[in-house]
Structure 1
Amino acid sequence: MANEKNIGTPAEEEIEIITLTDENGEDMDFEFLDLVEYEGKRYAVLLPPVEDVEGEDENEDEEVLILQVEDDGNEENESYVFVDDDDILTAVFDIFKEKFKDEFDFSEE
């Protein structure tokens, strides 16, 4: 997916989970990592939660999902929109990386 980047997760942290509903009405849980402002717009940096699957390395690199936050001024009516512009995705991820450079082990693939 164009709006995913790889990061290694930090050892311990408080985890905030948000649930998003897709176009088919199915709920999906994501770990909320940060809200980044870029060029007057807000972008959520999300991580699918690590599933405890036997035999898988929990510290394996994860891909973040960057979505634009759209709202009508009421926080309860926020919606999250896919970002198709690779320049915006790169800029938002660069801001996120700089902010959390001491907390995550970033790698680009």
Structure 2
Amino acid sequence: MSEHNHEHGPDCGCGEEEPSFIITDENGVDHEMIMVYTFESADRNYAVLLEKDEPEAEGLIFRIEEEGDDVYLVTIDDDAEWEQVVEVYNRLAEEEA
């Protein structure tokens, strides 16, 4: 079994795609999203998702929660947590630019 240590995408050449998620917005419209980045803040893990068909669109950030073998993406409703997460994500994005 081989390990992949890179971001999957149409140009990576490995033949594998990112796992996709169906996210339903506040209007009841489903969007197929791909997880493009994960990071940690205050001992919690977060995921950045982009629309599969619109990779240039603004991403969404969710908290990753685990219960046993199950993993869930959870909306961040707490304003203080959201501000902290956005600050950490922006700093990480600047470092990678």
Q: What TM-score results when the alignment is normalised by the length of structure 2? A: 0.59
Partner of 1:29: 32
Equivalent-residue separation in structure 2 for 1:101 and 1:21 (angstroms): 27
Deviation at 1:82, TM superposition (A): 0.9
Higher relative contact order (CA 8 A, sep 6+): 1
Structure 2: state its 5+ residue gaps: 1-6, 10-17
- Superposed counterparts of 1:1-109, under 5 Å: 14-15=8-9, 16-20=18-22, 28-51=31-54, 62-74=57-69, 77-101=70-94, 103=96
- How large is the Cα RMSD of the aligned pairs? 2.8
Counterpart residue type for residue 35 of structure 1? T
String of CA shifts for 1:19-57, please: whole Å, max 9, x gaps.
Answer: 2365xxx96421212112122221111122344xxxxxx
Structure 1 residues 99 and 21, CA gap change in structure 2 (3 angstroms): closer
SS of 1:101's equivalent in the other structure is helix
| Count of aligned pairs between the two proteins | 79
Counterpart residue type for residue 30 of structure 1? M
String of CA shifts for 1:38-82, please: whole Å, max 9, x gaps.
Answer: 22221111122344xxxxxx85xx2221111111242xx111111
Deviation at 1:99, TM superposition (A): 1.7
Equivalent-residue separation in structure 1 for 2:53 and 2:47 (angstroms): 18
Q: Is the Cα–Cα contact under 8 Å of residues 23 and 33 in structure 2 kept in the other structure? A: no
Structure 1: state its 5+ residue gaps: 1-12, 52-57, 105-109
